[in-house]
């Protein structure tokens, strides 16, 4: 174990220490790394960095290739004695595919996302990160036992509100990278305190009280079009709204318009 990890464990024996690691496409390389880190509490295995060495099949080169990913996750999980999260790249069409493969290959959790397009982070990626996290959370809910796996949301977190939104979309934990580079390490304490205030305001005593609550409000474009069609049919049946432009009365313009809005 690295000197710094030993020191951290000695200073904070009651805290969780997680290493985020990467290695090239080498079974023995991964096994040696895992042996060296076996005293940590959990590991995040990085299949997501856009700056990795694709020629050595590292990082995003693995995260973008489900067959390689399955093989490497298999090596790691056969050796690891602590929980393992696989970190996903957003630079892929459907992020649920590598997330699913990682969970099926024995990982306990998924972290998402790394930077977009070789380096965009922070506010520039937040909406995309939220969409990717939402996709993974929905997939986990539909296909896995939620108590057996967890999701770590990353991308553009700067305030407690940003963190709460990731949790509302299903994240069990939230990570901050660029936010800390901008505001300093002290920002972590502020974020934790403000998230606790947010929870008090909403009468939440645990993260589980609101985790994933917003997933129910997401749907597909096809479903929205179907529901819109059904609503129009229902209005027609109830004879609400105008049947023809000839029916506008002039003075009744506002009421007649309101009878046709959707909310
Ligand atoms: C300068 C910089 C260095 C990074 N280095 C790593 C790294 O070594 N390993 C890794 O998994 N992610 C790395 N990341 C990605 C971040 O951990 C994070 O996934 C991404 O930046 C999105 O989160 P953020 O908006 O909070 O920064 C790095 C990001 C930046 C900006």
**Contact present, 96 and 71 (Cβ < 8 Å):** no
Q: Determine the distance from the C-alpha atom of residue 115 to the mean position of all C-alpha atoms in its chain, rounded to a whole number.
A: 13
Secondary structure class of 35 (helix, strand, coil): helix
Cα(132)–Cα(25) distance, integer angstroms: 26
Portion of the chain with pLDDT greater than 70, in percent = 97
- In this structure, which residue's CA is closest to atom 9 in ligand 1? 49
Domains of the chain, by residue range, sit at 3-217, 221-258
Centroid of ligand 1 to alpha carbon of 229 (angstroms): 44
User: Residue 51: pLDDT above 80?
Assistant: no
Q: What mean pLDDT is reported for the chain?
A: 93
Would you tell me how many other CB atoms lie within 10 Å of the CB of residue 140? 23
60 band by pLDDT with thresholds 50, 70 and 90: confident
φ, ψ (nearest 5 deg) of residue 110: -125, 140
Among residues 121, 119, 132, 116, the alpha carbon closest in space to that of 171 is found at 132
Q: Determine the distance from the C-alpha atom of residue 76 to the mean position of all C-alpha atoms in its chain, rounded to a whole number.
A: 22
Instruction: Specify the ligand 1 atom closest to the Cα of 154.
Output: 23
Cα(152)–Cα(160) distance, integer angstroms: 15
Give residue for tokens 């994240």.
171
- In this structure, which residue's CA is closest to atom 19 in ligand 1? 114
Cα(191)–Cα(98) distance, integer angstroms: 30
Centroid of ligand 1 to alpha carbon of 245 (angstroms): 57
User: Residue 263: pLDDT above 70?
Assistant: no
Give the CA-trace dihedral at 92, 125, 44, 48, to 10 degrees: 30
262 band by pLDDT with thresholds 50, 70 and 90: low
Question: If you ran DSSP here, which 8-state letter would residue 220 be given?
Answer: -
Decide: 132 in ligand 1 pocket, CB within 6 A: no
**CATH (residue range 3-217):** 3.20.20.70
Token pair listed for 34? 């895992």
Cα(177)–Cα(121) distance, integer angstroms: 9
Q: Left, alpha or beta for 63 (phi > 0: left; psi -120 to 50: alpha)? A: alpha
- In this structure, which residue's CA is closest to atom 23 in ligand 1? 155
pLDDT tens by residue, 119-176: 999 999 999 999 999 999 999 999 999 889 999 999 999 999 999 999 999 999 999 9
Say which residues have a Cβ less than 8 Å from residue 35's Cβ, sequence separation at least 6.
79
Decide: 170 in ligand 1 pocket, CB within 6 A: no
**Contact present, 132 and 90 (Cβ < 8 Å):** yes
Give residue for tokens 């506008």.
248
Cα(171)–Cα(152) distance, integer angstroms: 5
Token pair listed for 13? 């024996």
Active site residues: 49
Cα(172)–Cα(155) distance, integer angstroms: 14
In testing the pocket of ligand 1, which one of 177, 178, 185 has its CB within 8 Å of the most ligand atoms?
177
- Comparing 26-35, 159-168, 174-183, 250-259, the range with the smallest average pLDDT is 250-259
């Amino acid at each position: 174990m690295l000197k710094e990890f030993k020191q951290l464990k000695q200073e904070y024996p009651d805290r969780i220490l997680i290493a985020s690691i990467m290695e090239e496409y080498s079974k023995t390389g991964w096994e040696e790394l895992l042996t060296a880190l076996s005293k940590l509490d959990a590991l995040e295995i990085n299949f997501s960095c856009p700056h990795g060495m694709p020629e050595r099949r590292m990082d995003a080169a693995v995260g973008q290739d489900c067959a390689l990913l399955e093989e490497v996750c298999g090596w790691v999980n056969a050796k690891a004695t602590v929980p393992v999260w696989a970190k996903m790249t957003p630079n892929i069409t459907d992020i649920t595919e590598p997330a699913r493969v990682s969970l099926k290959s024995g990982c306990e959790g998924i972290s998402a996302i790394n930077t977009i397009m070789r380096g965009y982070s922070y506010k520039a990626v937040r909406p995309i990160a939220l969409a990717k996290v939402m996709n993974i959370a929905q997939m986990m809910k539909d296909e896995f036992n939620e108590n057996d796996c967890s999701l770590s949301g990353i991308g553009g977190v700067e305030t407690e509100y940003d963190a709460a939104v990731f949790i509302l979309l299903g994240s069990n934990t939230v990570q901050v990278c660029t936010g800390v580079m901008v505001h300093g390490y002290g920002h972590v304490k502020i974020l934790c305190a403000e998230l606790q205030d947010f929870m008090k305001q909403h009468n939440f005593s645990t993260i589980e009280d609101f985790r994933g609550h917003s997933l129910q409000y997401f749907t597909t474009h096809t479903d929205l079009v179907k529901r819109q069609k059904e609503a129009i049919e229902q209005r027609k049946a109830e004879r609400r709204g105008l049947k023809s432009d000839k029916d506008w009365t002039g003075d009744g313009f506002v009421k007649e318009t309101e009878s046709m809005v959707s909310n």
